[in-house]
Structure 1
Amino acid sequence: MRLRILTAATALLAAGSAALVGCSSDTGVAAGAAKGGSGENGLAASSAVGELKVDTAARDLLPDGVRKSNVLKVGGSTDIAPYLSVNGKNLVGVEADFMTALGRTLGVKFEVGNTKFAAMVPGLQSRRFDVAMADFSDTLERQKQVTFVDYTRAGQILIVPKGNPLKLKAVADLCGHSAAGPTGSLSVDIAMAQSKKCTDSGEGAVNVQRYPTAAESALALQSGRIDTLAIDYGIASSLVQQSQGKLQLTGGLFGKGFHGAAFRKDDQALQKAFTAAFTTLMKNGTYKRILDHWNLPQMSLDKVVTNGATE
């Protein structure tokens, strides 16, 4: 099996800053990745994945076209550590491990195209790819157009400058302040919803700013252009570690929900195949090993959930 990662512009290959590597596009390329890669399938899968055999029962559930081509086209953002990001010529992260494990279990090749959050659902509907995944949050709004097979828990948290000078600890504290998140992300949706609550109660609106990536949002916070960044907990932990002491987490988790793989509503065969494959990975211990390896055990689910978001 071999995962093909399409080549991005040479300017991105040469870029050394986190901001440039973090730029994502919706053109179907994996930014910063070279074709092929040195790891298996172009992925640098961690040791947590281990040796896996094809689950014939799960593979038999795949649509006829996928079984004949042995290829699954995936839309996912490739610039979000620790989920899926570029490291040299490979894609790495918890989602890279899941894709490797799924590929081995289903006996298919994953063809990944770097895709912004806002382009995930349109890309599915236009059939540019078969599945959208990698830190993709299940929401009621998205459920109107796609079906989610949820495989991890999710939650948001605030990042603030070191020392938390504005004493921000919860979403309710954002009134009259500026907050940011990646364009098309759940983080932005939550900030916008809070802004309405603020104005409805006579307080100042939240100045919601959007940046192409989480990395660029963090840079805006470090430079003082925004007061706080609301983001997925896993991403937040990684960004704080990379800030060299300039940023910190604050408050507790909010916006709790699920990360899932999204499919066209009529693609029930592929939904069933992914559910079966993830169930196999949960039963044989691979699922737990992957989350533990990336220090994300709190994201674990006991079983796969379809359209788990309810609010």
Structure 2
Amino acid sequence: MTRSPRALAGAAVLVAVLATAGCDGANHAAEAAGPAVALDEALHAALPEDVREAGVLTVANDPSYPPASSFGPDGRTIVGFEPDLGAALGDLLGVEVRFEASPFDTLLDDLAADRFDLVMSAVTDTAEREQQADFVNYFRAGSSIVVGRGNPLGVHDLAGLCGRSVAVEAGTVQVGLLERAQARCALRIDVQQVPTNDDALLELRTGRADAVVADYPPAVFVTTDPRTQNSYQLVSDTQYEPGLYGIAVAPDRTELRDVLTTALQRLVDDGVYQELLDRWEVGHGAVDAVTVNGALPAG
């Protein structure tokens, strides 16, 4: 697989996007720089030759999912625990890691078309998705329900969504979750699939949806952030059908996949990984061991 070389923009890992505008990404993490990570020459040498020559790994990302990834105050830079982990991996491997905005429901297609080297965007590893890519698993989360502040419709669980209008981001595991929940409903769930999680929350805030179903971290984030907590409420701390997020790698790039797995495990063992997650208040989703293709059967 041939890739054109790209110049390394500097010793520090740059996190940039192609998009020119977007919503402000809230940042619960401290402004301080992340933990120092030293270059590992052996891991750098183990990278595929095309990556070492280019000096960069491009990462497709949907920046509508804080605290995993979202646009920063400048509307261009992607911030979150995923870019921070990417930066730490870049420091360890001695390459630039560049996050670039792309729609969630086309991320794996973009990877297959060689538009990006990796996908890192709160993508839950599933058996179906493993038909398109390999996944280096780095986080665990399930789905949660967000409603309007005060919970005016008294939704307390998935059963409470029966007969309701529910907004979800297209292409996410939440679509399948609601399909399975529908089998236990007497009344139909009106599932509204929208382009981003921000769009789903807008549907809820403007009364066009009764609830949003999203991963637990962004659900907690939007219900606790001072700018949005007056509009949204988490139904409960229940996480439905928890699974593993994975960095997606094209299946023919096993060399790159294996180096990433080793490097990420190094960050786990050295405590850098936990420190970064804790800075974003998502330490609850940490994994002890980095796995590959760890999809769990659907619930």
TM-score bracket, normalised by the shorter chain, equals: 0.7 to 0.9
Q: Tell me the CA shift for residue 284 of structure 1.
A: 1.2
Determine if the alignment matches structure 1 residue 208 to structure 2 residue 191.
yes
Distance 2:290 2:145 in 1: 28
Match of 1:127 in 2: 114
Q: Map of 1:166-245 to 2, 5 A cutoff?
A: 166-195=153-182, 197-198=183-184, 203-240=186-223, 241=225, 242-245=227-230
- TM-aligned CA distance change 1:45 to 1:59, over 3 Å: farther
Structure 2 equivalent of residue 137 of structure 1:
124
CA contact (8 A) 2:265 2:290 kept: yes
Confirm whether residue 310 of structure 1 aligns to residue 293 of structure 2: no
Q: Separation in 1 of the partners of 2:205 and 2:152?
A: 13
- 1:8 paired to 2:19: yes
Deviation at 1:271, TM superposition (A): 0.7
The question of whether the paired residues in 2 share the 8 Å contact of 1:77 and 1:117 is answered with: yes
- The answer to whether the Cα contact below 8 Å between 1:85 and 1:93 also exists between their aligned partners in 2 is yes
Which amino acid is the alignment partner of residue 248 of structure 2? A
With over 3 angstroms needed to count, the CA separation of the structure-2 counterparts of 1:46 and 1:138, relative to structure 1, is farther
Paired with 2:105 and 2:246, the residues of 1 have a C-alpha distance of 15
Task: Indicate the SS of the match to 1:180.
Answer: strand
TM-score by length of 2: 0.87
Unaligned runs of 5+ in 1: 13-19, 23-31, 33-43
| Amino acid of the structure 2 residue aligned with 1:81 | P
Q: Which is further off, 122-131 or 173-182?
A: 173-182
CA distance in 2, matches of 1:86, 1:310: 30
Relative to 1, partners in 2 of residues 1:6 and 1:149: Cα closer, same or farther, differing over 3 Å?
closer
Return closer, same or farther for 1:68/1:95 CA change in 2, 3 Å cut-off. same
Shift of 1:237: 1.5
Specify whether residues 45 and 126 from structure 1 end up closer, same or farther in structure 2 by C-alpha distance, changes over 3 A only: farther
Q: What amino acid maps onto 1:8 in structure 2?
A: A
* 2:213 aligned partner, one-letter code: A
**Which aligned pairs between 1:31-42 and structure 2 lie closer than 5 A?**
none
CA contact (8 A) 1:175 1:204 kept: yes
Cα distance in 2 for partners of 1:4, 1:222 equals 31
Identity %: 32
CA contact (8 A) 1:215 1:239 kept: no
Equivalent residues in 2 for 1:12-23 (5 A)?
A: 12=21, 20-21=22-23
2:8 aligned partner: none
Find the aligned partners of 2:103 and 2:57 in 1 and give their Cα distance: 18
What's the Cα RMSD here? 2.0
Q: For 1:73-88, what aligned pairs fall within 5 Å after superposition?
A: 73-87=58-72, 88=74
Within 1, Cα distance between the matches of 2:187 and 2:229? 32
Q: Does 1:54 align with 2:39?
A: yes
1:66-91 superposed Cα distances (whole Å, 9 cap, x missing partner): 01211112111123211122221532
CA distance in 2, matches of 1:222, 1:6: 27
Contact 2:39-2:92 at 8 Å conserved across structures: yes
Q: How many residue pairs get matched?
A: 278
Tell whether the 8 Å contact from 2:165 to 2:211 is kept in structure 1 after alignment.
yes
CA distance in 2, matches of 1:165, 1:4: 40
CA contact (8 A) 1:45 1:100 kept: no
Instruction: Give the ranges of 4+ consecutive aligned residues of structure 1 lying more than 6 Å apart after TM superposition.
Output: none
Q: Deviations over 1:175-223 (max 9, x none)?
A: 211111112112222123322x146xxx122100012221221121111
Question: Would the alpha carbon gap of residues 266 and 153 (structure 1) be closer, same or farther in structure 2, given more than 3 Å must change?
Answer: same
